[in-house]
Amino acid sequence: MEKKLTSLELAFIGDAIHTLFVRNWAIKNFNKSLNEIHLICSKFCSAVHQSKVLNSLNLTEEEKDIVRKARNVKIKHSAKNAEIKDYKSATSFEALIGYLNITNQIKRLNEILLISVK
């Protein structure tokens, strides 16, 4: 029997997927030093940016359910440079990314990842 992942486990996976996507995108689209690439990536991977991306998405009911569950998880810490509401939204965004990945909804996953770098 396959284990059902928790919202935080989905977010853990989603964070890695989003970060890797942003790093690949930045290296392909900018002819800059790695330090400059890192700064670009930091902006796109921030809790504030991820929160804005999540709020701009037109979510399905299934996606809204994943986001709601992740947003309602009790957290023990938060990002250093973000308010708690942005941190919770970013965690929800990452959980959505993780969920889309593990359910093989690759077209939708790629759509959201591309939106996240605009």
Is 15 designated active site? yes
Q: Catalytic residue among 7, 15, 44, 49, which?
A: 15
DSSP 21-40: HHHHHHHHH----HHHHHHH
How far, CA to CA in Å, does 74 sit from each of 47, 67, 78, 88?
17, 14, 11, 9
Which active-site residues does the annotation give? Answer: 15
